[in-house]
Amino acid sequence: MARTKKGGSVAKSKAMLGWALPVIIILLVLPWFVNSYLLNLLIMVAYGAYLSQCWNVMSGYAGQFSFGHAAFFGLGAYTSSLLFVDAGFSPWLGMIAGALVAGLIGLIIGYLSFRYKLKGHYFALATLAFAEILRAIFTNTPFFKGAMGILIPISSKSTMFQFSKKVYYFYVIFALLVLLTVLLRYISRTRLGLYFVAIRENEDAAAALGVNVFRYKLAALAISASLTALAGTFYAQYFSYIDPNLVFGSEVSINAIIPAIIGGVGTVWGPILGSLVLTPISELTGTLLANYSGMNLMVYGFILIIVIIFLPEGVMGWIQNRRTQYKVKQDKSALARKEGKIHETPLS
């Protein structure tokens, strides 16, 4: 039985590699043959998928719904930018520093929240409150440049996370997305991932089975916060400007949540599929309905409502359910044929 499961897992991995590898190769070559608008769209799709995947680690797998991931995003953006502008550190190093700072703050937020048994809507509101507190602090503190924000100096040195061609930004965020997806797929098959899922499904039952719920919830939050900080650094270097409202605002958290909900929360491919669907729609409606203020957001919201009503588990959840139903149907048919043959066999 164990050999069969292992063989099936290996076969599934080979099959996935068989279609994933050509897709990756195409995406690596494609950016050189599109115009600036489409290249920016590809970058935003990969960026949205990565940001949502970061949120998915904690809220999708561990079940700790966060509405304040902007806190970690902003910490990553400000840490790398301040080190770059004021101390001359390369943003590549600042990216690592930002991840460490965000992970530490995530542990503090998690400790204060989980220590007092905050969960569900209360935990979501707590994370939102922490993000708003950080936004207020960074807006009113001269050391953080206040409401004026930080303008990133322009250069073309790759050592300073700046490139002469926009295509290289795509390669950076695409590499981060691929690495995170591979990591998440690996985690989902380890004991750590199983503990996350157990906590998501039923914390009390997981605790009764010996899972240290407090520790693993902290681990999920720290991992998610650190990874989200990397997206903040990328945003700062790509757009060359940040301010507290941009990087600590609730829009950042919403952009992290919605693709995962559309694609399928708690699935490896859900956030990627969600970003692949939503980002082009957002760009298209934003362009076509530019003269109608807020219409693009209304279209965005309408799509979200439709998906929540008719596909409550997201697109990937619907696909997985259909596959399961098909497999059950096939198994029933096979069993019926087998029983039919047994009945047709003449008695000796």
Average pLDDT on 210-231 reads 96
pLDDT at position 3 is: 47
**Residue recorded with tokens 């902290």:** 218
Supply 265's token pair: 């929360």
Least Cα distance to 175 among 49, 266, 39, 32 occurs for 49
Q: What is the pLDDT of residues 270-328, one digit of tens each?
A: 999 999 988 888 887 777 766 776 676 777 778 778 877 888 788 888 887 888 888 88
E strand residue ranges, the chain = 150-151, 241-242
Q: Where exactly are the structural domains of the chain?
A: 23-254
**Residue recorded with tokens 């920016």:** 40
Average pLDDT on 209-228 reads 95
E strand residue ranges, 61-143 = none
β-strand partners of 151: 241
β-strand partners of 150: 242
Q: What is the pLDDT of residues 59-78, one digit of tens each?
A: 999 999 999 999 999 999 99
Task: Tell whether the torsion through CA atoms of 37, 236, 225 and 253 is positive or negative.
Answer: negative
- How many whole angstroms separate alpha carbon 99 and alpha carbon 233? 9
Predicted model pTM: 0.89
- Selected residue with higher pLDDT from 346 and 198: 198
- How many whole angstroms separate alpha carbon 19 and alpha carbon 30? 17
* CB environment 111-128: b (16+ within 10 A), e (fewer): eebbeeebeeeebbebbb
